[in-house]
Amino acid sequence: MKKIKKHIIHIMILHLILSTPVYSQAQELFFKAAGTPVNPKVQVSWNKYYTPSGVEDFCKKLASAYPGLVTLESIGKSYQGRDIYTLTISDKSSGKPDHKPAFWIDGNIHSVELQGTEMAMYTAWYLCEMYADNVFIKQLLADKTFYITPTINPDSREYFTSTGMPPRSGLMPYDTDRDGLFDEDGHDDLNGDGNISQMRRKKTGGDYREDIKDPRRMVRVEPGETGEYEILGTEGFDNDGDGLIDEDGPGGYDGNRDWGFNWEPNYVQNGAHKYPFSQPENQAVRDFIVNHRNITGAQSFHNYGGLILKGPSIEGGGAEVYSREDEEIMNTIGKTGEKMIPGYKLITIWKDMYTVYGGELDWWHGAMGCYVWSNELWNSYLMFYDESNTDSYQFDKLLLFEDSFISWQKVNHPVYGEVEIGGFSKNVGRLHPGFLLESDAHRNAAFCIYNAYQSPKLEIQDIKVRKLSGNLNEVTATLHNSRMLPTHSATNLKYKIDPPDYIFLEGGTVIAGMIVEDVERNICVEQKKNPHRMEIQNIKGYQKINLKWIVKGGNKYTVSVESVKGGRATAVSK
């Protein structure tokens, strides 16, 4: 009996220990750092890259942990049948997410540009984990919505993280060398390490030698010097016997030359496929966006360069060319981005980089009327925060302890005989090293949050009722957009992409409705048709619009605004 009692006591003590709240344990173990969740519900390490399974696991955990904020859905399938997951993040208790101004984020449309996914995931995680304790984030999610698609290209992400070096594209078979065969001559991983490295071969009188200071580095010999190596290119051999090496690997098209705006065929724009939106991944994104017209702005993460890209992508291209007002908005936000993300520069694609036909940015602005960005992640400045020192060998040696370099090793090549394979691994060069990934993720997430904050915020203010004769009342109100972005970009207005903004008055029979252009002189412009539903073509950033109605009957009136991209707001007279 005593043994039984003793056993019961032990069980009770164990139960008390296990039931102690995790948060109280966290309080004992951690001290909050500014701007960071101290005890997140979803524990994530931001110093590594996630496989498609890891991305899916993260999305499901976040949706499960925050059902009041997060909705997870698959918006379509990749070519190989993988889900393309999208997170909708907003405070559901404050209104329908699709009725709020929204910001879209995607990443990894190009397979080798992995970290766009981590930037998107970090933004989603940060919004949810900071919601409870941060006043700014709480109000932001009450007002706005985020649609976040971590990877548009899960097939090639799987290939990159498990098999080898994929193309920029997805994995839909493609005849790159136009010989009637598909994907028949890709890279060959001769040493089976999952990387496609450089090949060198001993050759007296070759053009290269090892660097005396760092033998990992191959340097071209000076005139008069005798070299000892020749560089043979990347790992591989001629699989299809056409005299070319690695010229037709998996895929081969470019997902960012596939969008249905300013599109050109492959002979004009290399990487374009047969027709716009020829790839299922982009079709899925397009269909979601077309059905979510509340999106005001977007960010598509790419790499490399440390750039904040804005359109247009071609010179004098048409609808995607920004008006003076829109250009001012883009420059103001972009210059703020330069402050937020040190080492990143704001540039215009066609003017400062190169021409892109059928790019995602121009489609967003030209076809959907949105303000859109593409941040090119990571650059060599971030290695030492010094533009004059961008030596990747030194960075690898001093800060990564040679973890990113594959030592030269001998293998037997079927054509070249004995060669040596080595060089930097595929997880550096274009990709952040782990210890710098979270820092850049936070800064890029903050830039997205700043963009979302500047989307329209509409408020009905100062409703006044003045009695007139004949059972009539004069009702006046002010509609205020307190943020930088208008409800319609210039392109949106020019091509009537979205309907006007509507201001409704309820509570009586509306006899007349008008916009007051000059309050002091009582200069008004009457809307003779449907005066109970005033039409405003555009509500500019920081603009106030004064309205007036003559109403028969009633003594309490409701004024509300409905805007596709500006959201909704309501106020009631006293």
Give the per-residue pLDDT at 367.
94
Rounded mean pLDDT of 457-465? 97
Give the per-residue pLDDT at 14.
47
Backbone angles phi, psi at 552, to 5 degrees: -100, 125
Q: Say whether pLDDT at 15 is over 80.
A: no
Q: Say whether pLDDT at 469 is over 90.
A: yes
Q: Which tokens hold the place of 404?
A: 């990113």
Task: Count other C-beta atoms under 10 Å from residue 115's C-beta.
Answer: 24
Give the per-residue pLDDT at 162.
87
Give the per-residue pLDDT at 22.
46
Question: In which band, very low, low, confident or very high, does the pLDDT at 182 lie, cut at 50, 70 and 90?
Answer: confident
Q: Say whether pLDDT at 449 is over 70.
A: yes
| Least confident interval from 21-35, 67-81, 156-170 | 21-35
Q: 65 burial class (0-12, 13-18, 19+ CB within 10 angstroms)? A: middle
Give the per-residue pLDDT at 18.
45
pLDDT tens across 188-220, in order?
A: 888 888 888 899 999 999 999 999 999 999 999
Q: Say whether pLDDT at 6 is over 60.
A: no
Distances (CA, A) of 335 to 236, 273, 314, 439: 44, 35, 22, 19
Strands 83-89 and 145-149: antiparallel
Whether residue 509 contacts residue 553, with contact meaning beta carbons closer than 8 Å, is answered with: yes
Question: How much is the mean pLDDT over the chain?
Answer: 92
Q: Say whether pLDDT at 17 is over 50.
A: no
How would you list the strands of the sheet with 558-563, edge to edge? 533-536, 501-506, 558-563, 567-572
Number of residues written out for the chain? 574
Residue type, 502: Y
Give the per-residue pLDDT at 26.
53
CA 223 to chain centre: 48
Residue with tokens 């997410």: 97
Rounded mean pLDDT of 502-531? 96
How would you list the strands of the sheet with 472-481, edge to edge? 458-467, 472-481, 544-552, 509-518, 523-527
This prediction's pTM:
0.92
DSSP-based helix, strand, coil % in the chain, nearest 5: 30, 30, 45
Give the per-residue pLDDT at 416.
93
Give the per-residue pLDDT at 13.
47
Give the per-residue pLDDT at 165.
75
How would you list the strands of the sheet with 83-89, edge to edge? 70-77, 83-89, 145-149, 102-107, 295-303, 371-377, 307-310, 345-348
Rounded mean pLDDT of 540-559? 96
Q: Say whether pLDDT at 520 is over 70.
A: yes
Q: Say whether pLDDT at 249 is over 80.
A: no
Q: Say whether pLDDT at 23 is over 70.
A: no
Give the per-residue pLDDT at 20.
45
pLDDT tens across 318-330, in order?
A: 656 789 999 999 9
- With the CA atoms of 264, 270, 274 and 276 taken in that order, what torsion angle do they form, in degrees rounded to the nearest 10? -50
Rounded to whole angstroms, the Cα distance separating 556 from 573 reads: 6
Q: Say whether pLDDT at 526 is over 70.
A: yes
Distances (CA, A) of 415 to 233, 350, 424: 13, 43, 24
Rounded to whole angstroms, the Cα distance separating 73 from 62 reads: 12
Give the per-residue pLDDT at 27.
60
Q: Say whether pLDDT at 430 is over 90.
A: yes
| Least confident interval from 1-5, 289-293, 376-380, 492-496 | 1-5
Give the per-residue pLDDT at 246.
81
Q: What percent of the chain has pLDDT over 90?
A: 79
Rounded to whole angstroms, the Cα distance separating 132 from 497 reads: 37
